[in-house]
Amino acid sequence: MFDTSCLMTPARTCLLLALLTVGLGWLALADQTQLSLPTALQALFSPARDDIAQIVAHYSWWPRLTIALLAGGGLALAGVLMQQVLRNPLAAPTTLGVASGANLGLLVATLLAPGLLELGREWVALIGGGLAMGLVFLLAWRRGLSPVVVVLAGLVVNLYFGALGMVLLLFNQEALKGLLIWGAGSLSQNSWDGVAFLWPRLLVGVLLAFAMLKPLSVLELDDANARSLGVSLKYLRLASLGLAVFLTACVVSVVGVIGFIGLAAPAIVRLLGARRLGPRLLWSGLLGALLLAATDLLLQRFSGALPTLIPTGATTAALGAPLLLWLIPRLKLGSDRPRTGVSLPMAARPAMSWLPVLLGVALLIATALALLSGQSAEGWQWLPRFGDTSMLEWRLPRMLAAAGAGVLLALAGTLVQRVTGNPMASPEVLGISGGTAIALILAIFLIPAASQWTLIGIGTLGALTTLGVLIGLNYRSGFLPERLLLTGVAITALFDAVRSFILAGGDPRGQQVIAWMSGSTYYVDLTTAVIVVALAALLGLATAPFSRWLDLLPLGAPTARSLGVDILRSRLVLLGLVALFTACATLVVGPLSFVGLLAPHMARLLGFSRARNHLLGSALLGALLMVVADWLGRQLLFPDEIPAGLVASLLGGAYFMWGLRRL
């Protein structure tokens, strides 16, 4: 068979990409400035002060191209360092949460301590990125920084810091309005200040990286052999990761979050044959610079035909998600043998018969608390005045919607955990909620005045499409939990890119989409709330006939098949129900609640082990969690409000972190 590996090398690839970048740059110069190439080159060094086109080229076009080259190269170098230190081909500034941590640090400093930014934006970003990296290490340390656990820890840190950033944006939209586009990765420049800030810091980082080349190469050996050569692994890893975080922080402090360049460039260079660290550093930096510059020039080329401004960082994230999906089947994550059993944690003893009654009473108490108590302009009110139903009319739809969505997400999580045998699976973690959200966002913007039933149908189609991707990528590995979760990471990254487009677009409908994505029940009316509760009740009852399947599928495919279960048909039916449940719930409370992960786990730990009881316990706990989250969100920062989905995601994210220890 003809070997194509000799046709493409890192050098040839960079040369072709450089020629493409030059061509795109020439076209962009002609379109935006109407300058010839010699005149544009003259404008780079000494623009004519009376020529507006040359002024624009000197202070906007050339700085933007330069900052793209610098930012792409810096992120690619940071990705190589992270992958070398962690021996993890999926390590990158975005997948490890470093970029989101740096972004959150800058947001907090902008609001609470703007004086810190004058001391140095890179140091504020460095602290935020360092905290994110430290949290990832803390979560993955007990598993020896296993590649899968590190990436999953980066996923939850990204979601956690993203939820905190969303809270800040919701409460300070005017103060942070200018940071929305920047936070999504904007390369727009109006002076050479960004270049002057970035290039000396990146130069220091590059020199330090190549100075550590020999000790870093030792990390390709196992720990025992590396120590025998006299290398202090602890300090070497700390210094290398510190340098990677510094490079990322410098880039983020200038241009915001640029997605997946730090993952794509090292991965492509390795696939093209660069195995040794020195060539990987050199070619990854060059390829990353050219990738980002070419992407930005393409975006500029077609931006006039687009209805909204699209940030470059969000574009690279959208392009990087398919790359991650392509890389996942090629990773060695331990055994790829199909799994015949399941390791779902079970309680030590079955649940007492009175426990469902106790959960029902707790739900009633939470419901009464949500309806009859709360803060107002006059302070706390524990009971409404006699005959005053105004507060009840406002609170009742929100409480019902939260309870119904909690039931639907909990049932979806229970089904997907039992079907896949994966204790960390849920609609949110596997990307099903993200796929549903993408479909719903597109429907809201493309279909004017779409009905609720239309949105439910489109959301279900988005969830089914996501499930199809999950099944297609994981069928041959027997739905190995690690691969399922990493696929969810990629789909979630794609959703984040779409969310960035919405945040930066400036469309008036974007504010309502932001509130919906954060899980707010504010816009729910009584009719919609009743429909959600009715759907939760009907679909919950519809799962009862499948309890036998759900009891047998966790025993493994051979056992279930020998007991008369049609494996393919049962999985398709149950996953179809998961898609429908997820679409209905996501339409109400957004995609980031984590109730689908939290409620089934809590139910199992309480002793609800048989399928029918597990579904019942999860539904009660899901409703309880969402009702309490909605009530807490309304009270914690009164008169401001934290959406219920964000409160639930913070609680569920904390549980996800705890659950990583048992993966």
Are 472 and 604 in contact, with CB atoms under 8 Å apart? Answer: no
1 has pLDDT over 50: no
Domains of the chain (ranges; CATH) run 22-330 (1.10.3470.10), 397-660 (1.10.3470.10)
DSSP string, 151-175: HHHHHHHHHHHHHHHHHHHHH-TTT
pLDDT tier for residue 182 given thresholds of 50, 70 and 90:
low
pLDDT: which is higher, 122 or 583: 583
Query: What's the confidence (pLDDT) of residue 229?
Result: 64
pLDDT tier for residue 340 given thresholds of 50, 70 and 90:
very low
Provide the b/e sequence for 441-469 (b: ≥16 CB within 10 Å).
bebbbeeeeeeeeebbbbbbbbbbbbbeb
Query: How many residues appear in the chain?
Result: 663
The average pLDDT across 435-440 equals 82
The average pLDDT across 589-617 equals 82
Provide the b/e sequence for 544-559 (b: ≥16 CB within 10 Å).
eebbebbbbbbbbbee
Are 125 and 106 in contact, with CB atoms under 8 Å apart? Answer: yes
Q: 75-100 pLDDT, tens per residue?
A: 999 999 988 887 777 777 877 888 78
pLDDT tier for residue 336 given thresholds of 50, 70 and 90:
very low
Strands 374-376 and 379-381: antiparallel
262 has pLDDT over 70: yes
Query: What CA–CA distance (Å, rounded) separates 494 from 498?
Result: 6
β-sheet bridge partners, residue 536: none
pLDDT above 90 coverage of the chain, percent: 12
β-sheet bridge partners, residue 380: 375
**Burial class of residue 225 (count of CB atoms within 10 Å of its CB; 0-12, 13-18, 19+):** exposed
Query: What CA–CA distance (Å, rounded) separates 295 from 303?
Result: 12
In this structure, what are the phi and psi dihedrals at residue 380, rounded to the nearest 5 degrees? -70, 135
Query: What CA–CA distance (Å, rounded) separates 27 from 16?
Result: 17
